[in-house]
């Protein structure tokens, strides 16, 4: 039906109780998501304008998989180039499917210990937010992304055990 750079759309015939039906499926190459935690236990988020909904959104960094490159290498590059932080350590948490009813997108969730780089000019171009893990001010942020909500809830539930 459609094949793009990041997704493909197709129609599948599926068996139902009373025969068969057509099902529209989004095939997705997958997403890598990382929860960056600073050395003073703050979560780093990015404030991004999302044209799809024409709103700003505070999000945990994500990257659509486009190659067979190692996840850790992708995360390390993205944390530096998109946020202005160096990755100190990283751990894989779990994988999940955010929209099983219509998509095969798989999200690989990681947590990383990070440190802001000292290049002031380089860092001026970023719109990052550091939020304390206690999350008291989290309601003030524009968190409308479901993947970020899941990551924030994970942090809230596991804040005493966030070893990287």
* DSSP string for residues in 110-134: EEEEEEE-S-HHHHTT--EEEEETT
pLDDT of residue 107: 97
Nearest to 154 by CA among 91, 100, 102: 91
What's the Cα-to-Cα distance from 31 to each of 66, 74, 143, 161, rounded to whole Å?
A: 9, 11, 18, 25
Domain 31-95+106-161 grouped into CATH 3.40.50.2000: no
- 3-class state of residue 43 by DSSP: strand
Mean pLDDT, the chain, integer = 86
pLDDT at 119 over 70: no
pLDDT of residue 121: 59
Confidence of residue 160 (pLDDT cuts 50, 70, 90): confident
d(Cα 105, Cα 56) in Å, to the nearest integer?
23
pLDDT of residue 136: 64
Helix spans in 6-138 (H):
71-78, 120-123
pLDDT at 36 over 90: yes
């Amino acid at each position: 039906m459609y094949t793009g750079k990041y997704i493909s759309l197709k129609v599948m015939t599926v068996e139902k109780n009373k025969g068969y039906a057509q099902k529209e499926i989004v095939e997705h190459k997958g997403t890598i998501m990382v929860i960056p935690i600073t050395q003073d236990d703050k979560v780093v988020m990015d404030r991004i304008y999302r044209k799809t909904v024409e709103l700003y959104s505070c999000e945990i960094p994500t990257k659509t998989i486009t190659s067979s490159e190692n996840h850790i290498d992708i995360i390390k590059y993205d944390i530096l180039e998109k946020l202005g932080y160096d990755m100190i350590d990283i751990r894989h948490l779990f994988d999940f499917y955010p929209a099983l009813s219509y998509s095969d997108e798989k999200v690989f969730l990681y947590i990383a210990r990070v440190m802001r780089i000292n290049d002031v000019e380089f860092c001026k171009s970023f719109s990052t937010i550091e939020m304390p893990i206690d999350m008291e001010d989290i309601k003030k942020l524009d968190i409308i992304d479901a993947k970020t909500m899941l990551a924030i809830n994970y942090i809230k539930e596991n804040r005493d055990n966030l070893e990287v």
